[in-house]
Chains A and B, each alone.
Chain A
Amino acid sequence: MKVDILIIGGGASGISAAIKAHHQDLKILIVEREDFLGGILNQCIHNGFGVHLFKEELTGPEYARKLEKFLTEDVLIYKNTSVVKIEKENDVFTVSLSSEARGLEVINAKAVIMSSGAYERTRGQIRLPGKRLKGIMTAGSAQRYLNIDGYLVGKRVFILGSGDIGLIMARRMTLEGAKVLGVAELMPYSNGLNRNIAQCLEDFDIPLYLSHTVSQTYGDTSLEGLDISEVDSNYQVIKGSEKHFEVDTLLLSVGLIPEITIANNLGLKIDPFTRSASVNQNYLSSIDGLFFAGNALHIHDLVDYVSKESELAGERARMYVLNNFTKARNEKEILRNQLIRYTVPQVVDFDNLTHNFDISFRSKIKATLAVFRLKQDGVVIKEKRARHVIPAEMEKFTVGLEDLISTNELVIEMEILV
């Protein structure tokens, strides 16, 4: 089969991209490995989604169902289907799909949008000490077991990492009868939203141990206990500061990594900081026709932002297929000073600059008051002050075409005022 745009992943990102990619003359296919659209939203049964996009507080499944309604019937959807290979030859993508219903099949596509989401960092990435025990798993896995499959993975639980999934799971496990003994966070501040600290921990008297990490795990086959220890300013364990907890479960909420394995063989230019493709303002990667969106591009704070960004990626994929872009690119890197961890997009293509665009970025460190400046040719073209800057919260500049004074590199700088 031939399609114009193939969208990998039917979560918030893929649906949003499909909605805006839609055009009467274009054939669009969403490939989704699960039996339902909506991706990870389906297991997020708490509320707080949609405040920006729909101006109301929805649960994850409500957000997904509401978003799905914007999909028109001419968008093809393959559920229970996995992408097993992507190749590109002569401007056409050959995408191999696998499903129980249709077996192996090959789809040719003019453009591909990677909206494949992210996977959770595991114990391997944080060098968790101890044996290969049962009872240690990612918070998202526990959430899926609980909210979709209906099983509790632990009765006495400790959580490492104060990301939102960890905080949400602290409350959720408690409500289902588990005892959550605490949450440890390596950093001196939480990476989760303030409302989650209040509603998920404080309301249930669950202690949050900042500047702490798990320094030992105990048990022979199953987890039986663990120690947490305080860490110094270099995140090294301070000996003698151990606190012991007897638990059967340790949930890890220590970050997400864009899931782009399937595109690894294409020779993509990768940004080591986002661990995904380097893209221009049209969300186009170094490979022509291969777009990235949502958590597959970089990790977002809110699903609303995923939707908004993915809509743009969908729109630009549509423009690409309709030949609204030139093939030649004049890409200039967005430079940043050492206080900025990364930017998305990473480059600006001045040959295909048709719309105002957003630059999302994260600071490397916490600041009470900071100023961000966007410069071109040494001139400040945008400036904003921000209070309570933390790496966990994404910052943004919206760049108008009229703001630009040349086709030279943009530079983002952060200066700490307090």
Chain B
Amino acid sequence: MKLNNVKSLYDFLIVGSGIIGTNVARELSKYQVSILVVEKESDIVNGASIANSGIIHSGHDPLAETLKAKLCVEGNKLTHELSKELGFHLLKCGGIVLAFSEEEKLDLLKLYENAVTNKVPNVKLLGKKEVLRREPKVNNNVLLALDVSTTSVCSPWEMAIASMENAVLNGAKYLTNSEVTNIKYINEVYEVEINHKDIIKAKNVINAAGLNTEKIGLMLEESLDYHILPRKGEYFTLDPKNKGDFTCVLYPMPSKVGKGVLIVPQVHGETLIGPTGEDVKDNDNRVTASGLGLIVTEAIKISKHIQFYDNIRNFAGVRAKSSYDDFYIKESSKYLGFYHLAGIDSPGLTAAPAIAKYLVDMIKAKNILVKKDNYIKGRSYTPLFRYLSEEEKLEAIKADPKHGHIICKCENITEQDVINALNGVIPVDTVKAIKKRTRAGAGICQGGYCERHVLQLISEYKNKKMTEVDYYEENTPILLEDIKEPK
């Protein structure tokens, strides 16, 4: 949506389109309200939500009685329901927390109690034999384990995009490349300044800006009772050919700095190893030799059989940890209708749908929200060709022969898959946005083969010169110069 199409006054303006912003947009879109999501990046879902473990945690870990514990357990259940409703992938693999020493054994028993208190379903203790039977590649000095079977894994950006597509179908609007640069509260209306020039007005503002929640909050408030303390996590991504080496999420015992380095089977067959936990400034998502080295050191304590040699990608994400000990989900005490959703670090992905409900309940406690009669539950999307049954494939290829052209040989992505993504409910025109939606470029050759096909398709369908197609952010063309054109 272009800025000149913007309404004069929105009921809700959501800052940020990560897993939280998109889920809040979806939850609010069930009601008769106008919604605008503003995102500073070139595409929705681009911060911590695209660089994490993807785990839908059971809720065994957050301290009992915290909002994190409550919303994680609720969110786990909701995510499983949403996966069916919105059609995003969920790997229902379960998880095991492992104890390798007598000291860890005692802590594990406490963790078991905590999980029971948090009302995590189906938790049980596993002896060494049972652990090694289920996960033969775990080191055999394991002593005891906690089985948290409701643990699943999702593709976080797929889930966030699905939520946003559902919200858009139900009337929510969004703006990308739109950074909030100031907020004023004038005559009970918020005036939100975008990119230092345009003003958008809204009755309510939901600050779901991840790492930038504090910055956004301080545009309005004199002080806040939280600080964002960015924490970086680095990862390895192992070749899907090693799928099956580890069948569930393997957690070491949690420590003071977080859940530790995990082994996480992914929805599409890769295995993630990570994250580290390092306090950083701002969005410092660099991978480092020291961080990657630390992952190896830590991970081999769980298993000596991790094929680090088959790494296909390293990445780092920065989570928005805060000085507040829990999720900070509150309405401003001074500015009515201004809501802070801060410090949504782990288990924020799991909790996201529950956070959205919690927030909307909070809003409903003071405002009247009327449900829509015509709310559309699912979303309108075409699944990737690779996920169709053999019969469906034949039908699809008959209708769209371009499904016959495989443009990404690692992930078996077709030309028509890319065309569908270019023209989806949320249209896109960059190489990385296509990767997020189709997985073209996410495989073992990392775009070595498909990138040029993707560039050509964007160029063709978006009427851009090849040298105008961006990798992702504005002004990031992959091809700098057409040498066929006279200089």
Residues in chain A within 8 A of chain B (CB atoms): 33, 80, 82, 84, 98-104, 119-120, 122-125, 127-132, 134, 137-138, 140-141, 144-146, 149-155, 176-177, 215, 217, 221-222, 237, 248, 257, 259, 261, 264
Contacts and interface: CB of A to CB of B under 8 A. Distances in A.
Contacts of A98: 404-406, 414
11 contacts: A100-B401, A103-B404, A127-B314, A128-B287, A129-B288, A129-B289, A131-B285, A149-B479, A152-B480, A152-B483, A261-B241
Contact of A149 (B394, B452, B472): B452
Contacts of B402: 100
Interface string B428-440: 0000000000000
B415 A100 contact: yes
A177 B409 CA distance: 33
Contacts of B66: none
A127 B404 contact: no
Given A145-B479, A153-B479, A127 B312 contact: no
A151 B482 contact: yes
B467 interface: yes
Given A145-B479, A221-B473, A101 B404 contact: yes
Given A103-B398, A129-B289, A33 B406 contact: yes
A33 B394 CA distance: 20
Contacts of A146: 483
Contacts of B289: 127, 129, 215, 237
Nearest to B312: A124
Nearest to B405: A100
What 8 A-B pairs are tightest by C-beta distance, nearest first? A134-B471, A151-B479, A82-B406, A124-B313, A221-B473, A152-B481, A119-B445, A150-B484
A125 B482 contact: no
Contact of B241 (A100, A151, A264): A264
A132 B285 contact: yes
Contact of A155 (B287, B410, B480, B482): B480
A129 B286 contact: yes
Contact of A125 (B312, B401, B415): B312
Contacts of A154: 480
B444 interface: yes
B312 A150 contact: no
Contact of A103 (B394, B475, B483): B394
A384 B228 CA distance: 67
Specify which of B445, B467, B472 lies most central, judged by the most chain A CB atoms within 10 Å of its CB.
B445
Interface of B: 237, 241, 285-289, 292, 311-315, 393-394, 397-398, 401-402, 404-406, 409-410, 412, 414-415, 444-449, 451-452, 466-467, 471-473, 475-476, 478-484
Contacts of A221: 472-473, 476
Contacts of B467: 151
Contacts, number: 130
Contact of B292 (A127, A141, A177): A127
Contact of B446 (A122, A127, A217): A122
Contacts of A152: 479-481, 483
A261 B239 CA distance: 10
A33 B393 CA distance: 19
Given A120-B445, A124-B237, A124-B311, A153 B286 contact: no
B448 A141 contact: yes
Nearest to A132: B315
Nearest to B410: A261
Contacts of B475: 222
Query: Which interface residue of B412, B446, B449, B467 has the most chain A CB atoms within 10 A?
Result: B446
Nearest to A257: B444
A144 B452 contact: yes
A33 B412 CA distance: 13
A151 B478 CA distance: 9
A100 B404 contact: yes
Contacts of B445: 119-120, 122, 259
B286 A80 contact: no
Given A119-B445, A151-B466, A134 B479 contact: no
Contacts of A129: 286-289
B315 A119 contact: no
A98 B386 CA distance: 12
B286 A99 contact: no
Nearest to A140: B448
Contact of A84 (B394, B406, B447): B406
Contacts of A138: 448
B188 to A, nearest CB: 38
B449 to A, nearest CB: 7
B480 A153 contact: yes
Nearest to A218: B286
A137 B397 CA distance: 33
Given A119-B448, A122-B312, A122-B445, A248 B480 contact: yes
A101 B403 CA distance: 10
Nearest to B473: A221
Nearest to B308: A127
Contacts of A222: 471, 473, 475-476
Contacts of B409: 33, 82, 261
Contacts of B313: 122-124
A333 B476 CA distance: 51
A96 B449 CA distance: 20
Contacts of A102: 404
A124 B482 contact: no
Given A155-B480, A261-B241, 12 more contacts: A98-B404, A103-B401, A104-B393, A129-B288, A132-B285, A134-B471, A150-B483, A151-B480, A151-B481, A153-B480, A221-B472, A221-B476
A68 to B, nearest CB: 22
